[in-house]
């Protein structure tokens, strides 16, 4: 256990841009070491000797971990941590933490906003007003889609999925879901396959984590199963959607519309999606309020403090729950 005053000797590597509030807390509590990006080629001999933790938005791969022999903890900012090689971290006895729960309600709120925006074309209707078309052309055309009568499927019934489902219930819409496994004591209809879920609903909300297991899981087959009245909302990870297949489905009427907050190669959005008139696009703002990002920053740094002050993590990821603090 490290005494509070001794925490200032613990070197914490912060690659690239990081949350300002988190940086302020790290500077007050630890010895911050800055690096342009998480690149092993940029690691100096001093970093190899001193760095015991990383606090980062960005992905931390196996090579970066291997470049820091005294690394004990990776405090990842965000609930998703697919860009961190947690499996390799576990093998190296490196703890990985993330920031769950504190962003759940904010992301669920954004999900509902994006769904309504997509179905009722709020983004286009506001542009109609701002461009003066209400004066020149009259009322905005009736939206082709509505939430009324929809059946909603959730891909990824974790903390955020459950929060979204509670909000969907308020609209009086039936809910089904697909997970790797059925959630015990949950009354929503479970589908063992994603295609089966898509066939049973007309509104698919993706909150699934990234990674190899979900890579392009929402493909042409799933979109076809969703149907011509179908709406896709993705607020999980861009990698879960085959973006080329989605662009084609939007263009040829395989589905009716989509709302996307995440993309496979951020911040680069495929031109075909930018050009599509029936898609609502957001720049990955699911948890992006000052209130929630501050809470995430606090949890990120609190994990650092707990690990080096009490030799325990607050929110370890499943892959590293058995990692023990070094003597």
- Whether 176 and 276 map to the same domain: the answer is yes
Pairing assessment for the beta strands 203-206 and 189-190 based on DSSP bridges: unpaired
More confident residue, 142 or 1: 142
- Whether 110 and 246 map to the same domain: the answer is yes
More confident residue, 1 or 59: 59
- Whether 161 and 45 map to the same domain: the answer is no
DSSP string, 217-254: -B-HHHHHHH-TT-EEEE-S-GGGB-HHHHHHHHHHTS
- Whether 129 and 277 map to the same domain: the answer is yes
As a whole number of angstroms, the distance between CA 134 and CA 151 comes to 33
Give pLDDT, residue 68.
98
- Whether 120 and 266 map to the same domain: the answer is yes
The answer to whether 139 is a known catalytic residue is no
- Whether 163 and 191 map to the same domain: the answer is yes
Total domains present in the chain: 2
Q: How far is CA 274 from CA 43, 133, 173, 204, 269, in A?
A: 38, 22, 30, 21, 7
pLDDT at 4 over 60: no
CATH of the domain at 56: 3.40.50.720
Task: Give residue 157's domain range.
Answer: 104-281
Quick: pLDDT tens for 80-103.
Answer: 999 999 999 999 999 999 999 999
As a whole number of angstroms, the distance between CA 212 and CA 43 comes to 28
Tokens of 95: 């703890």
As a whole number of angstroms, the distance between CA 254 and CA 246 comes to 9
Give pLDDT, residue 201.
98
273 located within any domain: yes
312 located within any domain: yes
Confidence of residue 183 (pLDDT cuts 50, 70, 90): very high
The answer to whether 237 is a known catalytic residue is yes
- Whether 310 and 251 map to the same domain: the answer is no
Catalytic residue among 46, 126, 169, 266: 266
Confidence of residue 327 (pLDDT cuts 50, 70, 90): confident
325 located within any domain: no
Mean pLDDT computed over every residue of the chain = 97
- Whether 67 and 152 map to the same domain: the answer is no
Tokens of 62: 């196996």
The answer to whether 266 is a known catalytic residue is yes
pLDDT at 107 over 90: yes
130 located within any domain: yes
pLDDT at 216 over 90: yes
326 located within any domain: no
Catalytic residue among 52, 150, 237, 293: 237
- Whether 184 and 264 map to the same domain: the answer is yes
211 located within any domain: yes
62 located within any domain: yes
Give pLDDT, residue 44.
98
327 located within any domain: no
Q: How far is CA 89 from CA 2, 38, 109, 160, in A?
A: 22, 15, 33, 25
As a whole number of angstroms, the distance between CA 7 and CA 29 comes to 6
Quick: pLDDT tens for 50-66.
Answer: 999 999 998 999 999 99
- Whether 137 and 173 map to the same domain: the answer is yes
- Whether 55 and 190 map to the same domain: the answer is no
- Whether 82 and 108 map to the same domain: the answer is no
pLDDT at 2 over 80: no
Give pLDDT, residue 26.
98
Give pLDDT, residue 6.
84
Catalytic residue among 21, 159, 167, 284: 284
């Amino acid at each position: 256990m490290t005494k509070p005053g001794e925490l200032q000797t613990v070197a914490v590597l912060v690659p690239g841009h990081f949350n300002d509030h988190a940086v302020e807390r790290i500077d007050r509590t630890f010895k911050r070491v800055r690096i342009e990006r998480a690149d092993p080629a940029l690691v100096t001999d001093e970093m190899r000797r001193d760095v015991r933790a990383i606090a980062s938005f960005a992905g931390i791969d196996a090579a970066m971990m291997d470049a820091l022999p005294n690394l004990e903890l990776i405090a990842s900012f965000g609930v998703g941590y697919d860009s961190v090689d947690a499996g390799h971290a576990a093998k190296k006895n490196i703890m990985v933490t993330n920031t769950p729960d504190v962003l759940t309600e904010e992301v669920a709120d954004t999900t509902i906003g994006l769904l309504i925006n997509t179905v009722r074309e709020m983004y286009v209707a506001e542009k109609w007003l701002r461009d003066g078309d209400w004066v020149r052309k009259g009322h905005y055309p009736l939206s082709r889609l509505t939430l009324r009568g929809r059946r909603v499927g959730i891909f990824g019934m974790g903390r955020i999925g459950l929060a979204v489902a509670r909000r969907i219930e308020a609209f009086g819409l039936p809910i089904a879901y697909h997970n790797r496994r059925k959630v015990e004591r949950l009354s929503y209809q479970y589908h063992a396959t994603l295609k089966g879920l898509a066939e049973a609903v007309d509104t698919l909300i993706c909150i699934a984590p990234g990674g190899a297991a979900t890579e392009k899981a929402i493909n042409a087959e799933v979109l076809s199963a969703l149907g011509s009245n179908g709406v896709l909302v993705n607020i999980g990870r861009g990698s879960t959607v085959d973006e080329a297949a989605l662009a084609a489905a939007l263009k040829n009427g395989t589905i009716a519309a989509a709302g996307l907050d995440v993309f496979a190669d951020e911040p680069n959005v495929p031109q075909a999606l930018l050009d599509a008139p029936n898609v609502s696009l957001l720049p990955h703002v699911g948890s992006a309020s000052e209130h929630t990002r501050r809470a995430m920053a606090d949890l990120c740094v609190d994990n650092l403090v707990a690990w080096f002050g009490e030799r325990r993590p607050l929110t370890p990821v499943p892959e590293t729950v058995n990692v023990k603090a070094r003597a």
